């Protein structure tokens, strides 16, 4: 009896036996011959073979790359102890170039801001890790400015964002008088509001700070001063004193001196504008006057009745000027005239022509410099003008 039928007799299954190789080959050959006759069987075999091949390829890919190795697939990592050991390198464990991780800043609100720290610094994420630290900013230096037509100390100061007193302190040639500014003159411009101090013999850091009413640390902290402990000062050196109080030199001005005239000439006690024009410089601490821009040669009149106390030329900066005593404690001064039309001691009425607009003396353009003195002290003229 054929061995393949053993165990089938008696209804009892016997132990399963493997077929001999020869028998398997014969059976396979028979099935092939049968497939040649039945095309449907051949098609079914082809489908099975294709699926089996795809399965083999998938297994090979998984064994090569490992789970979760393809960027962006979101595959969960293998459980501990079951993953395949991987070699980490600059090219990634799969052998492909991978993007370097971007540092994440965790804020107190629990949110993450991957690019917040570098964006705040004005750098892109790509360059943040390699950007060099910014160079130390150089300390601002003192500049030189050439006075232009129409300039005033106040206007120049406003242009550079400093106080007008700062310009006076840095330029001894002005002698504390802003009306000594003249066309083409070169003046120093400090980077900050304050005082430019020239060190004298015996000066110390504390004495300079006390003189200008600042903390010594303010002078030390200003980098352009180049000060280092023990802060020894050398005569002739200059120091910028940020925020220092300006100390005006003693300068009474032309209108303050001399005895008051007893001649009244019927002063009214009120003033009129001495010339028609545009105010080019208003009163401020060191320029207690008003500058009125007007065309060259425009008439200038007496602001009130009085007696001409002075008329002529001065080197103080006003050029051709006139001073009128009004006999009631007031005096008025008119500067930069192109021509004087009155003489000393002459009585003038309110509104009478006394000269012509000019740009004589230290002036940057045609205008009238007008001052009012009350009891010998210069005062803001605007409250007295209509």
Summarised one tens digit per residue, pLDDT across range 18-38 is 556 666 667 666 666 665 666
End-to-end CA distance of the chain: 145
pLDDT tens digits, one per residue of 287-309: 999 999 999 999 999 999 999 99
pLDDT tens digits, one per residue of 152-196: 999 999 999 999 999 999 999 888 888 888 889 999 999 999 999
Cα–Cα dist 87/377, whole Å: 92
pLDDT of residue 106: 40
pLDDT at 226 over 50: yes
Lowest mean pLDDT among 104-108, 175-179, 301-305, 328-332: 104-108
Structural contact between residues 254 and 179, judged by C-beta atoms closer than 8 angstroms: no
Strand ranges (DSSP E) for 121-191? 143-146, 186-189
- For 8, the token pair is 């089938």
pLDDT at 283 over 90: yes
pLDDT at 94 over 70: no
The backbone region for 376, taken as left when phi is positive above 0, alpha when psi lies in -120 to 50, beta otherwise, is left
Cα–Cα distance list, 111 to 105, 117, 120, 272, 347 (Å): 9, 13, 16, 71, 85
pLDDT at 74 over 70: no
Structural contact between residues 235 and 203, judged by C-beta atoms closer than 8 angstroms: yes
Cα–Cα dist 171/204, whole Å: 22
pLDDT of residue 349: 94
Lowest mean pLDDT among 75-89, 110-124, 195-209: 110-124
Which of the two residues, 340 and 115, has the higher pLDDT score? 340
For 258, other C-beta atoms within 10 Å of its C-beta total 13
pLDDT of residue 322: 97
Report residue 267's pLDDT band, with 50, 70 and 90 as the boundaries. Answer: confident
pLDDT averaged over every residue in the chain: 76
Which of the two residues, 114 and 186, has the higher pLDDT score? 186
Task: Return all residues near 298 (Cβ < 8 A) that are at least 6 apart.
Answer: 275, 276, 277, 356, 357
CATH topology of domain 143-242: Membrane-bound Lytic Murein Transglycosylase D; Chain A (3.10.350)
Torsion over CA: 273, 274, 279, 285 (sign): negative
Cα–Cα dist 158/185, whole Å: 18
pLDDT at 285 over 80: yes
Query: What's the burial of 154, exposed, middle or buried (CB within 10 Å: 0-12/13-18/19+)?
Result: buried
pLDDT tens digits, one per residue of 131-155: 333 333 456 789 999 999 989 999 9
CATH class of 278-384: mainly beta
Q: Where are the domains of the chain?
A: 143-242, 278-384
Cα–Cα dist 21/337, whole Å: 134
Q: What is the DSSP letter of 136?
A: P
Please state, for a pLDDT cut of 70, what percent of the chain lies above it.
Answer: 65
pLDDT of residue 328: 87
- For 378, the token pair is 């210069």
Structural contact between residues 104 and 128, judged by C-beta atoms closer than 8 angstroms: no
- For 222, the token pair is 């200003």
What mean pLDDT do residues 75-86 have? 44
336 three-class SS:
strand
Which of the two residues, 45 and 362, has the higher pLDDT score? 362
Q: What is the DSSP letter of 107?
A: P
pLDDT tens digits, one per residue of 49-73: 777 778 778 787 676 655 444 444 4
């Amino acid at each position: 009896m054929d061995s393949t039928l053993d165990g089938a007799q008696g209804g009892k299954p016997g132990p399963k036996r493997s077929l001999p190789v020869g028998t398997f080959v014969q059976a396979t050959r028979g099935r092939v011959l049968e497939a040649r006759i039945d095309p449907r069987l051949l098609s079914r075999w082809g489908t099975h073979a294709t699926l089996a091949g795809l399965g083999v390829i998938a297994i090979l890919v998984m064994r090569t790359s490992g789970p979760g190795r393809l960027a962006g697939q979101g595959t969960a990592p293998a459980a501990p102890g079951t993953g395949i050991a991987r070699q980490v390198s600059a090219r990634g464990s799969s052998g492909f170039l991978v993007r370097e991780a971007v540092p994440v800043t965790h804020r107190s609100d629990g949110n993450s801001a991957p690019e917040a720290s570098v964006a705040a610094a004005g750098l892109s994420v790509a360059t943040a890790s390699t950007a060099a630290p910014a160079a130390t900013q150089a300390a601002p230096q003192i500049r030189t400015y050439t006075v232009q037509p129409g300039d005033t100390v106040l206007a120049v100061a406003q242009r550079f964002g400093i106080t007008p007193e700062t310009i006076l302190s840095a330029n001894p040639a002005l002698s504390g008088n802003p009306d000594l500014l003249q066309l083409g003159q070169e003046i120093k411009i400090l980077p900050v509001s304050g005082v430019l101090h020239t060190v004298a013999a015996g000066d110390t850091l504390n004495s300079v700070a006390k003189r200008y009413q600042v903390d010594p640390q303010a002078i030390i902290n200003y980098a352009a001063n180049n000060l280092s402990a023990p802060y020894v000062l050398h005569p002739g050196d200059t120091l910028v004193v940020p925020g220092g109080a300006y100390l005006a030199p003693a300068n009474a001005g032309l209108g303050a001196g001399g005895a008051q005239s007893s001649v009244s000439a019927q002063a009214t006690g009120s003033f009129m504008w001495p010339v028609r024009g545009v105010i080019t410089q208003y009163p401020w601490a060191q320029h207690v006057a008003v500058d009125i821009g007007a065309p060259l040669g425009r008439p200038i009149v007496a602001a009130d009745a009085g007696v001409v106390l002075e008329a002529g030329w001065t080197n103080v900066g006003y050029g051709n000027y006139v001073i009128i005593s009004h006999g009631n404690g007031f005096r008025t001064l008119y500067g930069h005239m192109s021509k004087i039309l009155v003489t000393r001691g002459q009585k003038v009425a309110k509104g009478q022509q006394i000269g012509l607009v000019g740009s004589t003396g230290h002036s940057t353009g045609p205008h009238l410099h007008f001052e009012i003195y009350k009891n010998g002290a210069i005062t803001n003229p605007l409250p007295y003008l209509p």
